[in-house]
Amino acid sequence: RKEVEQDPGPFNVPEGATVAFNCTYSNSASQSFFWYRQDCRKEPKLLMSVYSSGNEDGRFTAQLNRASQYISLLIRDSKLSDSATYLCVVKRSGYALNFGKGTSLLVTP
Amino acid sequence: SAVISQKPSRDICQRGTSLTIQCQVDSQVTMMFWYRQQPGQSLTLIATANQGSEATYESGFVIDKFPISRPNLTFSTLTVSNMSPEDSSIYLCSVAPPRAETEAFFGQGTRLTVV
């Protein structure tokens, strides 16, 4: 079983829609959690960190449930520019990042 | 933050040859990592490049195929040896402070095509 699992999608949504991505991780020793965004033919870039209390950055809301080992990302009012692959990432201190396969999002006019 | 310069950005190579990818960081970092991203897949860790000692390889990756150098705290190379078409992939270097809560930074990637 992969350490980080995501629904690969693709998710095709119209502009303005709300879309949610889910992710589960298997290693309970994981300490930090992130959502990265990767555009086609580009390197991954940090979208936001994920905290146990939940956190929001504009249209983006991330949630973490440590008991269920579950992470989510909610995008409200989708824009065309949100089209990308969203990577769920977990990390233990002193270790490399562990990536999910990514969820592809296509926002259409 | 860290700025990473990775080169080459892309290359097309003949099977059986080797390619060395370089990664230069603008600050000293303890941990550097090399990832591979095959078409349509997510990033897979190849190895952790340790300064002053041999790299630590993940399952499925061996030093003979992917030798790594880490001569100092700002530089590392990854060589893809005796290439075959299955090695066609994007290779990315990354740096991350050891503290768990800090984000990682990536080089721009090397897009390798083996023909």
The tens digit of pLDDT for each residue in A40-99 reads 888 999 999 998 888 999 999 999 999 999 999 999 999 999 999 999 999 876 677 889
pLDDT at A30: 85
CA atoms of B28 and A99, how far apart (whole Å): 24
pLDDT given at position B90: 96
Band (A1; pLDDT cuts 50, 70, 90): low
pLDDT for A7 equals: 87
The alpha-carbon gap from B14 to the nearest alpha carbon of chain A, in Å, equals 22
Give CA–CA dist A49/A31, Å, rounded.
11
Which tokens is B77 given? Answer: 């190379």
Provide the shortest C-alpha distance from residue A15 to chain B (in Å).
25
Give the span between the Cα atoms of B74 and A38, in whole angstroms. 25
Low-confidence stretches of chain B (pLDDT beneath 70): 97-101
Assess contact for A104 and B41: CB atoms under 8 A.
no
In whole angstroms, give the CA distance from residue A65 to residue B64: 41
Interface check for A105 against chain B (CB to CB < 8 A): the answer is no
| Separation between Cα atoms, residue B1 and residue B97, nearest integer Å | 10
Q: Evaluate if residue A18 carries a pLDDT over 60.
A: yes
Substitution target in A43, A66, A88, A101 with the highest count of B β-carbons within 10 Å is A43
pLDDT at B71: 92
Does B73 contact chain A (CB < 8 Å)?
no
Does A34 contact B at CB distance below 8 Å? yes
Cis preceding-peptide flag for A44 (omega within 30 of 0) = no
pLDDT of residue B52: 81
pLDDT score at A9: 85
